[in-house]
Amino acid sequence: MRLALAEAAKAAILNEVPVGACVVRNGDLLAAAHNRTITDRDPSAHAEIVALRAAAAAADNHRLVGATLYVTLEPCAMCVGAMTQARIGRLVFGAYDPKAGAAGSAIDLCNDRHFNHRYEVNGGVMQGECAAQLKAFFAERRQS
């Protein structure tokens, strides 16, 4: 999660919402990324999606079976869908997102019985640090 927080800090420098993610499998880092929606002019360039794409390229496989995705903010529905398609084994996230979180806050798509793949979800890991990073970013934007 510390690596994901460092990635989120990179996003903030680019004026992106500070969310960072990394994908690990068998103790090996496959990818680390941060939000790039503004930079790439791509609404799908959330940290999770960018990390999953890079991890799949590194693994030379679109399936990331057994991988863990660490992300500083609870994923949205789009990102949960991508994690499900990638067949990750576990999701670990920091701050909860009551407005758009799709891993239990606003909606729980990770354990939806309609999907053919489910995975372990651990939320609230380093929640204080993850939430503080986001709060500081938005407080600064409101002052500007």
Tell me which residues are annotated as active site.
48
Query: Residues near 77 by Cβ (< 8 Å), separated by ≥ 6?
Result: 100, 102, 107, 109
The answer to whether 106 and 99 have CB atoms below 8 angstroms apart is yes
Between CA 61 and CA 40 the distance in angstroms is 24
* Cα–Cα distances in angstroms (integers) from residue 3 to residues 7, 23, 84, 88, in the given order: 6, 10, 23, 19
Between CA 8 and CA 97 the distance in angstroms is 16
